[in-house]
Amino acid sequence: MLDGFVKAAAVTPDLKVADPVYNREQIVKDMREAAGKGAKIIVFPELAITGYTCGDLFSQRLLIDRACDELLETAEATADLDAIVFVGCPWLHRGKLYNVLAALSQGKILGMIPKQNLPNYAEFYERRNFTPGFADPDIIYVTDDEGNEDEIPIGGNILFECEDYPDLLIGAEICEDLWSPNPPSTAHALAGATVLINASASNEAAGKASYRRNLVTGQSGRLIAGYIYTSSGIGESTTDIVFGGHRMIAENGVLLAEGARFENGITYSEIDVDKLIGERQRNTCFLPEEKESHMIVPFSLNVSETELTRTIRRNPFVPAGITERNERCEEILQIQSNGLAKRLRHIGCRNAVIGISGGLDSTLALLVTVKAFNQNRLPLEGIQAVTMPCFGTTDRTYNNACRMAESTGATLKEVPIREAVNQHFRDIGQDPDKHDVTYENCQARERTQVLMDLANQCGGIVVGTGDMSELALGWATYNGDHMSMYGVNAGVPKTLVRHLVRYYADTCGDEALRETLLDVLDTPVSPELLPPQEGQISQKTEDLVGPYELHDFVLYYMLRYGFPPRKIFRLAALAFRGEYDQDTILRWLKTFYRRFFAQQFKRSCLPDGPKVGSAAVSPRGDWRMPSDGCARIWLDQLDML
């Protein structure tokens, strides 16, 4: 459970209907296998001890008594396991039969959760055999073989709290409870439960699995919780219906793992409880109720490092699937262009000025500006695409900038700035052969001055090109490319910029523009402020500040979830295994934190610009940080690594 990760196992065991002895043997076998692979929470289906499809055999006292005996034996088998196990079983209480889920740990039954919503429609006839469960806990007295009497709570409002890691608080419901208008899991989450489980016996029907999947992921997202779901499978009676053993593990609306249907087995993943706690902390609409509404039953687990099997994606800002990625790219382009279009309409502006370098960011900004002008039905000639060649400009980027302006219909304007910068060098006494930060920033600020003055001439606005990754690292010249009247890329991380340009290239329908965009994508990221070497770009940004894919990875988990550096390092080492060694990751992680804290003053006075995803650095929105905040404790943790 180090770093908040808890391994979960959703199990569909082999079983025989009305054979609790065989079923107990299979349950014990599977729970030992799951615990052996590090699972701390192990969930079996509804009525797993007997099978769900016993029908009127549930009225046979022999079956109920034997099921009780086998459940007690199953509990004893957990004595040497470092896990909490949930097993479905029929249980007779005060003269009524209940469909319960028993929590087992350290050789004991910790508590029982009765099913509250019993379906009695279509193919279901549960009220024929069972009584609806109750919420307020009652007490069951169970005597073991040695005559010792245990008090076991039974009721819907019971939560199981890990003594060694109190943030792990587990609530349970059974099958139909989730399908009801007011699932018990809602109350569990509001009482503090971070992980919810559902032991089910949901039969298969065409289209039902998709709906079931939406229920599980939707409930986990609505409640900002982990959700472990497992259902009965092969072995249940097929007299009228078939069970597919659907197994799912979800976290805050995301499906982490799903087992193959119509195959019994075990599905594993790790739930990040720390992430859930952080999300609830930030969500002001998640208002917990007092824990007093529930009985809290403690259990114990060893806190150890969990081997991660869940997917840690290298580019968390970018959807993995091509279909979803294309949809997201179109959506983001619409957000960017609509933001700019509204600004243009509000100020009655028919002209825009944008500096184009032939690089990725200015390319995206130009494409967005074209979309905004089309939305406002403005002539594209009103876009001044300005190229400002200087000491570091290469033929490749210059030609791409010119071709892009021509292909999009913008007005190309060339303003060489070499002489203006040299004059400025003479004015301030800068040696032009000294390629320091002054040498570079003089060019950036001269370009911004040209753009601002051109905007004054035409009554337009300057469209900013800098992206969110550059803003996070402070890789922008203060009052240079840092400044504009509207920054369309301010919410777009560098790794996503590339996909947006690629998507535009694939969908624009203009072969000349497409070829230019593909060449831009193939060009190294560079501010082009230092002279080229043999006509090639000599200044590559990622050689100086580090790989953007690493920085975007850190940015996502730091801003979105508030993860500490140690946890981000652990995730990055897994995500980039085979790409970067741990020393390289650690080196650039330190660079990120040093720059992020030192450069906040640039983000504190950002121009307006649209948020497009779940994280942003605008001081008016997601990220309000003092410009003189200290990085010490973050860097100290990295030094300890």
Residue positions annotated with a catalytic role: 46, 115, 175
In order of 110, 464, 480, 559, 564, the CA distances from 452 in angstroms are 70, 11, 11, 32, 40
Q: Comparing C-alpha atoms, which of 372, 458, 361, 350 is closest to residue 401?
A: 361
Q: CA 58 to CA 131: how far, in whole Å?
A: 12
What sign does the CA torsion over 309, 312, 313, 316 have? positive
In order of 189, 192, 582, the CA distances from 290 in angstroms are 11, 8, 44
> Token pair 């419901």 is at which residue?
173
Q: Comparing C-alpha atoms, which of 419, 351, 364, 433 is closest to residue 388?
A: 419
Q: CA 274 to CA 258: how far, in whole Å?
A: 22
CB-hemisphere CA count at 13 Å for 374?
Answer: 12
Q: CA 583 to CA 595: how far, in whole Å?
A: 19
Q: Comparing C-alpha atoms, which of 199, 216, 278, 251 is closest to residue 13?
A: 199
Q: Comparing C-alpha atoms, which of 157, 45, 170, 24 is closest to residue 99?
A: 45
Q: CA 132 to CA 114: how far, in whole Å?
A: 8
Determine which helix (DSSP H) or strand (DSSP E) holds 521, and give its type and residue range: helix 511-521
Q: CA 112 to CA 91: how far, in whole Å?
A: 9
Structural tokens at position 438:
């002054």
Q: Comparing C-alpha atoms, which of 180, 184, 201 is closest to residue 193?
A: 184
DSSP reduced 3-state for 636: helix
Which residues make Cβ contacts (< 8 Å) with residue 581, sequence separation at least 6? Answer: none
Q: Comparing C-alpha atoms, which of 492, 575, 496, 585 is closest to residue 547?
A: 585
DSSP reduced 3-state for 446: helix
Q: CA 555 to CA 552: how far, in whole Å?
A: 5
Radius of gyration over every alpha carbon of the chain, rounded to an integer in angstroms:
31
Q: DSSP class of residue 49?
A: T
CA dihedral angle for residue 613, residue 618, residue 621, residue 627, rounded to 10 degrees: 140
CB distance 638 to 586 below 8 Å: yes
Q: DSSP class of residue 4?
A: G
Residue 247: strand pairing partners? 230
Pairing of strands 265-272, 5-12: antiparallel
Backbone phi, psi, residue 316, to 5°: -65, -20
Instruction: Burial-class residue 127 by CB neighbours within 10 Å (0-12, 13-18, 19+).
Output: exposed
Residue 503: strand pairing partners? none
Q: Comparing C-alpha atoms, which of 593, 608, 603, 609 is closest to residue 626?
A: 603
DSSP reduced 3-state for 221: helix
Q: CA 272 to CA 283: how far, in whole Å?
A: 17
